[in-house]
Amino acid sequence: MPKTTSRYLNLIGGKWVEPKTGKWFESRNPADDGDVVGEVAKSGPDDVDAAVKAARKAFDGWRLVPAPKRSEIMGRVAQILRDRKEELSQLLTREMGKVIEEARGDVHESIDTAAYAAGAGTRLMGETVPSELENKFAMTVRAPMGVCGLISPWNFPTAIPSWKLFPSLVCGNTVIFKPASDTPCVATALVRIFEEAGLPPGVLNIVHGGGGDVGMGIVRHPDVALISFTGSSDVGRTIAAECGKSLKRCSMELGGKNGSIVMDDADLELAVDGSIWGAFGTTGQRCTATSRIIVHEKVKAEYLSRLVDRAKKLKLGPGNDESVKVGPLVNAGRVKEVHEWVERGVKDGNKLLCGGRPATNGNLKKGWFYEPTVFDNVKVGDTLAQEEIFGPVLSVITVKSFDEAIAALNNSRYGWSASIYTKDVNRAFRAIRDVETGILYVNSSTIGAENHLPFGGMKETGNGHREGGWTAYDIYSEIRTVYVDYSGKLQRAQIDNRKKDE
């Protein structure tokens, strides 16, 4: 009997509806290409338009719901997420591929973000400042922006949408959510939880489909006030340019080429632990993954031999096997692309120490696996040291001093995350001052950010916004400055209350 596949629809104005295009696409398990997770709406511009209309209509009611009441719903979402953590994590692993322990971390990050949001509505603070004039009051209040377009990636299928969904909704906006087309099923499961928690119809709409038809449709729509996008710098640049045409606010979380400095006084075992986790955790598919090691020449030989030994022993396999450390890449295209970068490294004369090819032994051939790869002899300007690979490929650069290490680290057009391993507090603080990244870890990996702190990068990694913590709430609100004059007469700032020669 043919297996029946579940269909994943769009949620528009509180109703689950088929796409007006009549088209569908499949979401498949990256560890087993024969496993179809779901059949998903392949939407088009009419679907986007219907969703924006619904969100626009719902905005008038939602913005007037007191923010603490909006937050109460987020508290309920947090509770349902806790109750469903295992179920969601299993679906996440099946659809995206990351190992189950990390899938639980991904979902837990959503729980943390929801719990933060559950209190955030009581802290949507403005400020009061004295006026220069008598009998006049000055303050700021926050106002929602309208309809927000949230476009999320596949690598953190619940955590990253959560960083966008919770603050935008608590701030009083309504939302069109376009999840990555590699992870639509888990995104749908997340949206169903908001629905179940009592979010009014039309406040959160999901539209599935491709970046061109749906993503750019949302970006270009005149009734969408804001775009939040996480993905590659190339796509981010296109979206930001489009937003620039109508001066639409956009928040961009983009590419990275994150480096860890291993100084000559580093705890080498710790540095190796952190490098393995940073480079090969999530199969290297984190924006903040470690893709460069900048190691002091004095400790290089010892560090590298331990690192390569560990990399070779990592167990690859389907993420739902609890003993597996490295899951598949997300799709066939990623394997091809990662391999092209590796071939480029070999051609450039970088020295391949381990890995360097798709992993196809036994069951692995059913999915999109790639061997953990380490390259030595990489120079700061080499392709492998400059381009974001987004796979399990680590490039090692050798330096002779702290200053050279910082210069190598900063020799990148990206500025996501960095780390330094040293026992010298002076070097640690100089790194805090001198690195050109949005995040710095001292004696830890380049990954592992916590949801309640700002998260974002410098240079071509973004455009200055920070998700996470309190700063996410600034992305999704307008500041309105209010002056209340209770003097009963016209008072002119900068003119009255001043003598001519003052």
The greatest distance separating any two alpha carbons of the chain, rounded to the nearest whole angstrom, comes to 93
- Closest CB 287 distance from ligand UN1, rounded Å: 4
Report the candidate in 45, 39, 40, 54 with the shortest Cα–Cα distance to residue 21.
Answer: 45
Judged by DSSP in three states, 41 sits in: strand
CA dist 426 and 424 (Å) reads 5
User: Can you read off the two tokens belonging to residue 257?
Assistant: 């080429």
**DSSP characters for 331-387?**
SHHHHHHHHHHHHHHHHTTPEEEE--SB--SGGGGGS--B--EEEES--TTSHHHHS
Exposed/middle/buried for residue 83 (C-beta within 10 Å: 0-12, 13-18, 19+): exposed
Residue 419 as a binder of ligand UN1 (CB under 6 A): the answer is no
Question: What six digits make up the tokens of 455?
Answer: 């998260």
Output 254 or 308, the one with its CB closest to ligand UN1.
Answer: 254
* Cβ 231 to ligand UN1 shortest distance, Å: 10
**Stretch of 61-69, 238-246, 311-319, 441-449 contacting ligand UN1, by CB under 6 A:** 441-449
Instruction: Select from 192-200, 244-252, 283-291, 322-330 the region that touches ligand UN1 (CB under 6 A).
Output: 283-291
Q: How far is the CB of 85 from ligand UN1 (least distance, A)?
A: 16
Closer of 155 and 174 to ligand UN1 (Cβ): 155
- Quote the least distance from Cβ 358 to ligand UN1, whole Å: 23
Q: Which one among 78, 91, 219, 449 touches ligand UN1, defined by CB under 6 A?
A: 449
Residue pointed to by tokens 């307008």? 478
Binding to ligand UN1 (CB under 6 A): which residues in 366-385? Answer: none
Nearer to ligand UN1, 395 or 451 (CB): 451
Tell me if residue 138 falls in helix, strand or coil.
strand
Q: Which of these ranges, 142-150, 168-176, 316-324, 443-451, lies near ligand UN1 under the rule CB under 6 A?
A: 443-451
The residue from 139, 448, 452, 491 that contacts ligand UN1 (CB under 6 A) is: 448
Distance CA 394, CA 294 (A): 11
- Confirm or reject binding of residue 220 to ligand UN1 (CB under 6 A): no
Q: Taking CB positions, which residue lies at the least distance from ligand UN1?
A: 449
Taking alpha carbons only, the member of 227, 204, 230 closest to residue 149 is: 227
Window 296-355: residues binding ligand UN1 (CB under 6 A): none
Q: Does 286 bind ligand UN1 (CB under 6 A)?
A: yes
Using CB under 6 A, which of the segments 41-49, 141-149, 177-185, 447-455 binds ligand UN1?
A: 447-455
Rank residues 207 and 439 by Cβ distance to ligand UN1 and give the closer one: 439
Q: Which of 288, 320, 444, 461 binds ligand UN1 (CB under 6 A)?
A: 288
Task: State yes or no: residue 156 binds ligand UN1 (CB under 6 A).
Answer: yes
Binding ligand UN1 (rule: CB under 6 A), the pick from 10, 43, 155, 183 is 155
**Tokens 């001052």 map to which residue?**
433
Q: CA–CA separation, 237 vs 120, rounded Å?
A: 31
Q: Which residue has the tokens 């939040």?
A: 228
Is residue 181 a contact point for ligand UN1 (CB under 6 A)?
A: no
Candidate residues 37, 107, 287, 475; the one interacting with ligand UN1 per rule CB under 6 A: 287
Residues pairing with 441 in the sheet: 419
Terminal Cα distance for the chain, rounded: 90
Q: Which of residues 66-125 bind ligand UN1 (CB under 6 A)?
A: 109
Q: Which residues are catalytic?
A: 253, 287
Considering the complex, state which of residue 19 and residue 438 has its C-beta at the smaller distance from ligand UN1. 438
The 10 Å CB-count burial string (b at 16+, else e) for 453-475 is ebbbbbbbbbbebbbbbbebbbb
Q: Which stretch binds ligand UN1 (CB under 6 A): 61-69, 85-93, 281-289, 335-343?
A: 281-289
Question: Tokens in use for 413?
Answer: 């057009």
Q: How far is the CB of 227 from ligand UN1 (least distance, A)?
A: 18
Which lies closer to ligand UN1 via its Cβ, residue 187 or residue 447?
Answer: 447
Quote the least distance from Cβ 325 to ligand UN1, whole Å. Answer: 16
Element (H, E) at 250: strand 249-253
Give the strand order in the sheet containing 290-296: 351-354, 373-376, 393-399, 290-296, 258-262, 417-421, 439-442
| φ and ψ at residue 292, rounded to 5 degrees | -130, 140
Residue ranges that bind ligand UN1, judged by CB under 6 A: 109, 155-156, 159, 286-288, 447-449
